[in-house]
Structure 1
Amino acid sequence: MGAVVWAELHGSEGARRDAPTSLCDATPSRPACNRLCRFSKRAGNEIDFGVPWVYNHLGQPWKTQQAVRSVATTLFSPTPDGVYEVPLTVRGTADKGPLHLSAIVLVAPAGSLAAPYDNTGSSDDADRGRGDYDGDGSSYSRQALAAAGLDGGARLEAAGTSFVWPAAPQGSPDNAVAAGQRLELTDRAENAEKLLFVGSATHGDQRGSATVTFTDGTTAATDLSFGDWTLPGGGTDPVFDNTVVARTDHRNESGGRGPAVYVFATAPFSVPDGKRIRSVTLPDNANLHVFAVGLG
């Protein structure tokens, strides 16, 4: 298809001089130029991706760069980390119709926090049995979390950092139980000056320490301690220098609504001057739960 555009633009004397000044400067005498315009708005198939390089042949390579950059920044974006349901159609023998199924797919780069999610800590109020945060059948209410500002996929702030609340669908894991996992943060933490963890503890207040590894190979310890999600310190005040990210008016229990519960942020870790974070390694404590990592 690029050859067709090339022929239309190059097939007569003065074509270089009259070459379109933008992707959408097509004329009736050059209908193939419309393909350049369509490419800028809908890079729909593999063949289309060769079209912008026609500008190179016309002696205007900067327009190729403009076209590719425009498509890259306006038509494409990364899929957010999370769990997605993908529809599938399975076709069998001729005497049987297609079978429609779905698969649950985790989209997350290697080492991201979403990858080690292994606990379903929230549930819908109308389907409480899909969550079990504490091993006793209780979980955060998804409706109460949303009412407190913790909507799935929402970008929020805590102690000078920002984090994204998990966007896991109902019944899917949304937090990591601390078990020595290593989380690669190099790209996300390139310019980070602070780091903290968002989560809470079950079965009482829980202390822990995470290991921060820097790009030069050195390490440092940072606190990863949380107060109990229901009764921090046996009451309502945060412990271990935690700050309250959210307080919900109830939690879900097997028998119905339970008491109010909390989500906390740890005290922020300050990155030393000249250091860049490569990764963090969680402690090994099954009663510590991490929903997100805040960076700032």
Structure 2
Amino acid sequence: MKIKEIIDLYIKKIPKDDIYLLISSFLNCKKLDIIKYYDLDIDYSKIEKLFKRYENKEPINYILKSKEFYGLNFYVDERVLIPRFETEILVEKVINKLQKIDNKKLNLLDLCCGSGNIGLTLKYNLEELNVDLVDISNEALEVAKINMNNLNLRVNIINSDLFKKLNKKYDVIVCNPPYLAEDEASYQTDKYEPHLALYTKDGIEIFERIFKNISNYLNPNFLIFLEIGDGHYKKIEKVINKYLKNIKINLYYDYNDRERIVIIESL
């Protein structure tokens, strides 16, 4: 079957952009170059498998094994959460803040790192940072290592349940933990994405565990950046103030006016 015929077959069922992404992945070419292959005959049964996965609501980034994040291409598969666009706000906040200070030799921890998209993006943009990626999931860390190598970066990758295996102090801690309550599952995330990376008992429990011990891993002058769930801020603020003193806390909203980023700064 010709490529053009395959496009025509799916054009009324699937967004055109996704059709082109699936075909470009199959042909290993750029999306813009597909027009050159319109008359190419291929074995339809092979590419049909990709479209069936898509029609079964498997996230397209798992099918393509890639996700663009903050201008970089990250490898992703079912072992990790697919990086979200909203998390770019977190990265932007960190970069803007650290560019205003001397970030040379700063120790930065990406806690609950998943694919490594946050910590690796920060290392890519702020080369002087000493970055540690930490996650409880060995499978997620395997993906983070792939991304580290693909981006030609060098960071420390550590398997640990939060701080348990850490023995140093940090100037900056960045954390996008599992913050969805168990009753917030959707079909697509529930079926395909790793529950460990998404859900915590009530959306707050993980923050209690983090802040109970965080002071042991902070230098005197510190910054903490968190991504949180909408509607969770007031409860998380109470947890933060329970364990940290002499701090300034700021809340920032995402593009849909939802609570999203918390920045904690030592005074």
Normalised by the length of structure 2, the TM-score is 0.31
Bigger relative contact order (CA 8 A; separation at least 6) = 1
Higher helix share: 2
Normalised by the length of structure 1, the TM-score is 0.29
Choose 1 or 2 for highest CA Rg: 1
